[in-house]
């Protein structure tokens, strides 16, 4: 499960699921990857979503990464093409445990 973020409002919008919605349909309407949408919400692509369920929608202008076992800070900073100072400001608590959500403001 993803760690909750103190600054959710900075990185995400919220969407309330409507009858007939699917993760694919919502992802397409926001022009985001359905796998990212599912992962950010602790779901699998095949999971059922229901009306009035609230989902996190990633804001544009940010890159998102969900850690895997064995990830290192150096590797993740390279993926984001960032530096330590900037990365640590945006991610004040880093555990590097599988399933942690990390963000990086795009340049």
Separation of alpha carbons 23 and 77, rounded Å: 29
pTM exceeds 0.85, yes or no: no
CA nearest neighbour of 63 among 39, 36, 83, 84 = 36
Average pLDDT, the chain: 89
Q: Are 42 and 1 in contact (CB under 8 A)?
A: yes
Fold classification of 8-58 (topology level): Membrane-bound Lytic Murein Transglycosylase D; Chain A (3.10.350)
Structure tokens at 72: 């290192």
% pLDDT > 70, the chain: 93
Q: pLDDT-derived band of residue 106, with 50, 70 and 90 as boundaries?
A: confident
CATH, domain 62-105, list 3.90.220, 3.10.110, 1.10.405, 3.10.350 = 3.10.350
């Amino acid at each position: 499960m993803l760690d909750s973020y103190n600054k959710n409002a900075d990185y995400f919008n919220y969407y309330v699921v409507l009858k007939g919605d699917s993760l694919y349909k919502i992802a397409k309407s926001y022009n985001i990857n359905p796998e990212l949408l599912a992962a950010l919400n602790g779901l699998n692509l095949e999971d059922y979503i229901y009306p009035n369920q609230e989902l996190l929608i990633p804001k544009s202008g940010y890159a998102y990464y969900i850690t895997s076992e064995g990830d290192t800070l150096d590797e993740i900073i390279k993926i984001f093409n960032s530096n330590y100072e900037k990365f640590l400001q945006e991610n004040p608590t880093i555990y590097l445990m599988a399933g942690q959500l990390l963000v990086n403001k795009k340049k």
